Amino acid sequence: MTDTTLTASQTDRAHGVSLTDAAAAKVKSLLEQEGRDDLRLRVAVQPGGCSGLIYQLYFDERYLEGDETVDFDGVEVIVDNMSVPYLDGASIDFKDTISEQGFTIDNPNASGSCACGDSFH
Could you tell me which of 112, 106, 120 has the C-alpha nearest to residue 17?
Answer: 106
Backbone dihedral angles phi then psi of residue 91, each to the nearest 5 degrees: -125, 130
Provide the β-strand partners of residue 86: none
Q: Is the pLDDT of residue 112 over 70?
A: no
15 vs 92: CA distance, rounded Å: 13
More confident residue, 28 or 107: 28
Q: What's the whole-number average pLDDT of the chain? A: 81
Report pLDDT digits (tens) over 32-64. 998 988 999 999 988 876 657 888 999 999 999
Provide the β-strand partners of residue 60: 40
Note if the pTM is more than 0.75.
yes
pLDDT band at 12 (very low <50, low <70, confident <90, very high): very low
Q: Is the pLDDT of residue 121 over 80?
A: no
Q: Is the pLDDT of residue 107 over 90?
A: no
The pLDDT assigned to 8 comes to 46
As a whole-number percent, the residues of the chain with pLDDT over 90 amount to 50
The pLDDT assigned to 2 comes to 44
Q: Is the pLDDT of residue 1 over 50?
A: no
